[in-house]
Amino acid sequence: MIIYLDTNIVVYVVERVPIWSTKVDRRLQHATSVGDQLAASDAVRFECLIEPLRKGDAKRLSDYTKFFGAPSLLNLTISTSAWDYATSIRATHGYQALDSLHLAAAVEGGCGLFLTADVRLAKFPDIPVEVIS
């Protein structure tokens, strides 16, 4: 199964956010041990790189670059149809624009699970959503 990593999950892993990074590490280790593929989209990369670039934080930028460049991570490019689907998700469900885009990228990318820490996304009907808590 392909597991889409929401931005908050990537931030917890890369920035080693206390409490969260341990929970996420455990979940991702289990996923890879059973043969699941981890994936993130261009939108996740976009969100993660803003703050390190804004602050000129070369170390954090390097950490994110390594994460997104890992051969084990499936990088999902966002197609025109995913953008259209995201528009529909936003209009129908009222999610924020980037949340809608993440969900659309996951579905369009063939993911079987959307992993997040954002409880607001839990009821999205088109893909199973697992909320780390």
pLDDT per residue over 80-102, tens digit each? Answer: 999 999 999 999 999 999 999 99
Question: What is the residue range of 50's domain?
Answer: 2-131
Query: Tens digits of per-residue pLDDT, 7-56?
Result: 999 999 999 998 899 999 999 999 999 999 999 999 999 999 999 999 99
Answer whether 73's CB lies under 8 Å from 39's CB.
yes
- Strand pairing category for 73-76 and 113-116: unpaired
| Count of domains forming the chain | 1
Q: Which amino acid is at 111?
A: C
CATH number, domain with residue 53: 3.40.50.1010
This model's pTM is above 0.75: yes
